[in-house]
Structure 1
Amino acid sequence: MIQGLSRRARALAGLWGLERASLVAPRVDMLSRGFLSKRRRMYPFHAYPRDRFLSDWEVELRFPAINPAFVKELLGNKLAFHLFLRDFGLDGHSCGLVGLLADGAFVPTEGAADLGEALQRSRRLFLKPVSGGGGRRCRVVEDVGELPGEGLWLLEREGVPHPYASSIFPGALNTLRVLVLKDARGAFLAGAAHRFGASREVPVDNFSRGGVACGVDPERGVLGRGVTEPGLYARDVHDRHPVTGKRLEGVRVPFWEDLKELTVELTEAVPGLRYAGWDIFVSPEGPKVIEGNGDVANPNNLLQPHRPLLTCPRTVAFFRDHHVLSEGRAEALIRNLGAA
């Protein structure tokens, strides 16, 4: 009982923290239904019944318990994830690990004698901490003098985005977040969103740091409208990129079927994994995985501005089985979806 109260208290504190960080005035009509106030401006409530949307309260309260701790640790450690890809024969689907930087000392993984040779081979490398998320402290480096002298870092080959993405915003990798769930029948794609950078966040495209997020039609791989955090731009919903003016809605993502197959394969390969938010980018040769997230803080930001998550009986059943949805709410949704 005490543990349950503690979990609810943490979830309520987390939800209220997100609400306070928003640039939108609190709205009782949203908060009373478990949604952050800003969702009123972001979600297409006019096009779908409200009960089809997973609420922020349901996510904050139950999502953290879906995956076991050891899975979160594996996916949260970027070095361990690279080793996992290598051992399962999937490293060809990543940018490639060039080496580690431990308190300024270079430890190569691809045969380069030193940092100078590694940079000469790749010209530009992508630096990121072994742990942590949100794109913080990640950057492109071109010179040995730009590298930190403390901490544990990964050095990867710089990813090259497909022209469709770089034409929309040329200053970032422009990644996709793909939510894959795994039930007794196997892994399946539950939703996807495409992120694009904005000028003040080069080379990072994170939505929480000013990026643009578009929903992606899971069947056709076609972008929907773009959404930004309310208050960052003159509008919150965008047919075109708010910085470059390039068209967003209706753009087709290349290699979409390959991308879906890759994220399902990755999810199936990780023992104990029940869901993952895979960060993917599309290169000129096909999809590449950046990392997996087994402890997604709040998937609603990216996925539900385009369409609600609870439009598929299989997805509803997954969230029911992991106690994100109550039995009664799940049964009513499955019944309504079957009648639709």
Structure 2
Amino acid sequence: MTAGMSVGDIVRSARRAKQQTGRSIAGQLVDILRLRLLGHGIMPDIYYDMRLFEPGLSWRQKAEYVGSWIKPLIYRVQDPKAVALFSDKLRALAFFREHAIASPEILAATHPDIDIPGVVALRSPAELKTWLLDRAPFPLFSKPSVSYRGYGNTLITSITRDTGEILYGDGRTETIDSFAEKHGAPGKPTLIFQNVIAPHPLIAATIGQRLATARVMVLNDRPEPEIFRAGLRIPAGASMVDNFRGGASGNMLARLDIATGAVVDVLSAIGLDWRAADHHPDTGAPFAGLAMPDWQQAIDLVLRASRLVPGLKIHNWDVAFTDTGPMLIEDNPNGDLVLVQTVANRGLATPRFLELYENRRIR
């Protein structure tokens, strides 16, 4: 493998890029080499995901893009203590409560390492099974307390008591005994349980009764924080989360107008498989004219939360637009770099972003 791609995949990608744009394979390879030497972590995978082979892009535009390979360098400006605060959802809940910030409540957690009032501690398979059968309100959302990109997140719609089967939102089933042993046994990672949050009616009319969250990147190095990037992850099909993952999840990604919260356009895939979407595949509702409700209220909430954590120079907030108003789902101190470049149709290493670093250089 070379930079996330095999040599064969690089050759196939180069040929497809040439077919789509007419850009020569030699020109593409020169680009990749020059960008690699620049030191912004651009490898073949990011080069093709971000379509940096497009003939209309200038060298300055290409040079602004960064690759996931330098994420530790990008986020070296973050204070480790502040990072730890949001790396664990139980600690984040304590922060949200302390500052009266609207966020999802956690009902219960397996093997929590801190005690949070109102959060039921489940420390064995038997306690987990009993809570699910006797006290859990369904539908119910579960996720690891420490997670990334939505991995491990599941929607539990119900439990059939006579068969002991858990039914998931994507149609899968599992026995409650298997689930309890998998997550409740000593030494297992903490799993949290939350109520399912209802979307704002205006959002639900377009995407159905499920939650879509906006990723809002904030730069927090000046006296006042500022919104830098914003995009909306839109769930589709049987997906139980809204994470985009470049389109591999089956979900979509909307670019948002930062000033108004209006949808600019929607992508169902990026890179060589780039596709735009003009309607939601499940509801058939068009995306044209869709704008995030209570957008200014959401922005005010994000900025207030950012001020409270000056140790994070870069915030990546996930914001839900619910039937009770905007809500902060979580902050990602080491958030995805591909997403925030895709939603802006521009690389991250702009003059403004580079102010975060000494000599305005990431490396």
Given the two structures, how large is their TM-score scaled by the length of structure 1? 0.74
Q: Return the letter of the residue paired with 1:317.
A: R
Q: Return the letter of the residue paired with 1:25.
A: S
Structure 1 segments, 4+ long, off by >4 Å, are 18-24, 110-117
**Structure 2 residue 232 is matched with structure 1 residue 207:** no
Tell me the CA shift for residue 64 of structure 1: 2.8
The 8 Å contact of residues 172 and 205 in structure 1, kept in 2 or not, is answered as no
1:104-143 matches, cutoff 5 A: 109=118, 114-116=131-133, 118-119=135-136, 122-141=137-156, 142-143=158-159
Instruction: Name 1:197's counterpart in structure 2.
Output: 235
Instruction: Name 2:4's counterpart in structure 1.
Output: 17
Tell me the CA shift for residue 310 of structure 1: 6.4
**Structure 2 residue 355 is matched with structure 1 residue 316:** no
Tell me the CA shift for residue 31 of structure 1: 2.6
The 8 Å contact of residues 160 and 284 in structure 1, kept in 2 or not, is answered as yes
Distance in 1 between the 2:260 and 2:282 partners?
A: 26
**Structure 2 residue 287 is matched with structure 1 residue 278:** no
Distance in 1 between the 2:361 and 2:194 partners?
A: 43
CA separation of 1:320/1:22 partners in 2, compared to 1, >3 Å: closer, same or farther? farther
Distance in 2 between the 1:243 and 1:70 partners?
A: 42
**Structure 2 residue 195 is matched with structure 1 residue 186:** no
Q: Name which of 262, 267, 272 aligns with 1:227.
A: 267
Q: Name which of 298, 305, 313 aligns with 1:266.
A: 305
Distance in 2 between the 1:290 and 1:88 partners?
A: 14
Q: Name which of 312, 330, 335 aligns with 1:291.
A: 330
**Structure 2 residue 86 is matched with structure 1 residue 86:** no
**Structure 2 residue 37 is matched with structure 1 residue 36:** no
The 8 Å contact of residues 99 and 108 in structure 1, kept in 2 or not, is answered as no
**Structure 2 residue 66 is matched with structure 1 residue 56:** yes
Tell me the CA shift for residue 115 of structure 1: 4.3
Instruction: Name 1:9's counterpart in structure 2.
Output: none
Structure 1 residues 270-279 or 237-246, which shifts more? 237-246
Tell me the CA shift for residue 306 of structure 1: 4.3
Q: Return the letter of the residue paired with 1:67.
A: Q
Tell me the CA shift for residue 264 of structure 1: 0.9
CA separation of 1:100/1:205 partners in 2, compared to 1, >3 Å: closer, same or farther? same
Tell me the CA shift for residue 71 of structure 1: 2.2
Instruction: Give the length in aligned residue pairs.
Output: 300
Distance in 2 between the 1:309 and 1:101 partners?
A: 40
Instruction: Name 1:332's counterpart in structure 2.
Output: none
Distance in 1 between the 2:219 and 2:287 partners?
A: 27
Fraction of identical pairs, as percent: 21
Tell me the CA shift for residue 63 of structure 1: 1.2
Structure 1 residues 205-214 or 53-62, which shifts more? 53-62
Given the two structures, how large is their TM-score scaled by the length of structure 2? 0.70
Unaligned runs of 5+ in 1: 1-12, 328-340
Instruction: Name 1:166's counterpart in structure 2.
Output: 204
CA separation of 1:309/1:245 partners in 2, compared to 1, >3 Å: closer, same or farther? farther
The 8 Å contact of residues 225 and 306 in structure 1, kept in 2 or not, is answered as no
Q: Return the letter of the residue paired with 1:16.
A: A
Tell me the CA shift for residue 41 of structure 1: 7.8
Tell me the CA shift for residue 158 of structure 1: 1.0
Structure 1 residues 146-155 or 129-138, which shifts more? 146-155
Q: Name which of 60, 69, 81 aligns with 1:70.
A: 81
Distance in 1 between the 2:335 and 2:99 partners?
A: 23
Structure 1 residues 286-295 or 166-175, which shifts more? 166-175
Instruction: Name 1:216's counterpart in structure 2.
Output: 256
The 8 Å contact of residues 214 and 302 in structure 1, kept in 2 or not, is answered as no
